[in-house]
Amino acid sequence: MTVARLTTLKDIRAAIIDLDGTMVHTAPDFHVAVNRMRAELGLGPLDMESITHFVGKGTENLMRRVLGVDYAEDGIEQHYPRALASYEKHYLAINGEYSSVYPGVHEGLAALQAKGLRLACVTNKPIGFAMPLLEKTGLRRYFDIVYGGDSLPKKKPDPYPLLKVCEDFKVLPAQALAIGDSSNDAQAARAAGCRVLNVPYGYNHGESIHKVDSDGIVSTLLDAAELISA
């Protein structure tokens, strides 16, 4: 689908927006931190495309996928604690330094606010990584709520984080729009009963976003905002 073929979204009162691959191009940060960790463990570097295919289901999954390049299951679990500690150290040291905000994000968030929507950022990124990145990129000011992958008992693609936002904002799930770059966002939204739009420029585990069941694909967050009736 394209923006031109999408219909106006009515009675939307809140937007729940993903972070990595949706608002911020963080793959370069992942690339640097993962390879610094791998160097500490005596492993060779991975290219950025391979690493971005592992992004989206939280840091724990990312570490296991990265280690899985070199080790079988028992080796992954053996090296996991050291790998995780090393990665967290390196990621915190460079968080946001190599990242960039996608075009239309600031404008889109401002337009959503201007239409009276309340905004939440829901990401599978640990909250200790997400909050500094939002501050550094100037995006934190748009959001009433920020939930990381370790903020709640469950993370996307489980619908719980989206339902929690709806509860917090006192809106029905049908009155909330999720915007993300992957099947995680779409699956969570569908299960929660929210509307959902995808952006085409993110990561989606290396798979085509056009195969994801959503209400459509928008080029930017600003395009998403323009689909919502005031």
H/E segment holding residue 94: helix 73-94
Q: How far is CA 108 from the centre of its chain?
A: 16
Residues found in the chain: 230
Interatomic CA distance for residues 46 and 37, integer angstroms: 11
Residue 210, Cβ neighbours under 10 Å: how many? 11
Does 18 qualify as catalytic in the annotation?
Answer: yes
147 SS3 class: strand
- Residue 6 is classified by DSSP as P
Choosing from 18, 20, 181, 215, which is the catalytic residue?
18
CB 19 within 8 A of CB 40: no
15: left (phi over 0), alpha (psi -120 to 50) or beta: beta
Give me the active site residues, please.
18
